[in-house]
A and B are shown apart, each in its own frame.
Chain A
């Protein structure tokens, strides 16, 4: 198999990544500038993206699939012992751990937002009515605190990319933009998924989010 530039990240993953990054930034900005209505829409956008990503992680391109990059303790141990031996396309075992941490932290953050009420009672998440007002107030406090976890993971993520750029001469950002990366000869490139499956995953993400926005009928009356 030929080396050189090979596909590593598909279009859905790249769009997902950069849209998520933009929406997280926008969510932070809208919350700190009193635009709670926009903040809610941004959160719904993030929820749709996350559901899409979870599905695409099962039925998507090879590098998007969780089964291809989630490694147990043994896999991580081997990677730490000799990271140069790992040469596949996509997330390294350690990178995969970072992906899971980031996705999990953002999922928790969105989940908390669904149950939170804003300080002045002007807006609340679509599921807040299932819990008491006092609980929704506490969830909001936790939502604000949890953002620091998300932020710490983002800083770690960007820091790791800088580390690879400066000390390992790997241009990870470029690959996330162009979708291609130099692979050694004999390393299998990404096996792409089907575009219409990606579309179905996105539709499922948006539909599920809309159902949550509607207050998960018929539950709770």
Chain B
């Protein structure tokens, strides 16, 4: 019973819209964690891109990077609680995220699935499947960034 309860709570946490509203220092902390995490995801994407496009990719390097990616992807569900938008400080996360919670959650889920798929392909050292999965992962980044991230970096 207890285990089921934890599982349900976990699923609840995975849905951005369902996470409780944050404010003050907590909002700043989660925003900072989000910015750091997204930065790391970007860095891993770049390392994966160079490795996979190198002609003779080292699949061990690819697999270790995809493991990092997967861990970050799982955490990313917790990065968008209500109250962590522009009201918390300087961020490129647009208010649309909290206006369209279902769509946002669906796109985040798609990102996590794409990451898991790439991770599986890399673990089985399948270069072709990894390259294809990497392309899909990139599309899942873009699918969310286009509508929900501001282009304004200042």
Q: Which residues of A contact B (CB under 8 A)?
A: 32-34, 117, 119-122, 124, 129, 133, 136-137, 144
Is there an interface contact between A121 and B49, defined as CB atoms closer than 8 Å? yes
Where chain A touches its partner, the secondary structure class is mixed
Which 9 A-B residue pairings sit nearest by Cβ, starting from the closest? A121-B45, A121-B46, A122-B138, A133-B46, A34-B146, A120-B141, A121-B49, A117-B46, A121-B42
If A34-B146, A120-B42, A121-B46 are given as contacts, then 8 extra A-B residue pairs at C-beta distance below 8 Å, sorted by A number, are A32-B151, A34-B142, A117-B46, A120-B145, A121-B49, A122-B138, A122-B142, A129-B53
| A-B Cβ contacts below 8 A, count | 41
The listed residue (B43, B145, B151) touching A133 by CB distance below 8 A is: B43
- Give the number of residues in B that approach A within 8 Å (Cβ atoms): 18
Which interface residue of B44, B46, B54 has the most chain A CB atoms within 10 A?
A: B46
Residues of A within 8 A of B153 (CB): 144
Q: Tell me, rounded to whole Å, the shortest Cβ–Cβ distance linking A40 to chain B.
A: 14
B46 neighbours in A (Cβ, 8 Å): 117, 121, 124, 133, 136-137
Confirm or deny: B48 has a beta carbon within 8 angstroms of a beta carbon on chain A.
yes
Q: Which of A33, A120, A129 contacts B138 (CB 8 A)?
A: A120
Residues of A within 8 A of B43 (CB): 121, 133
Contacts of A121 in B (CB 8 A): 42-46, 48-49, 138
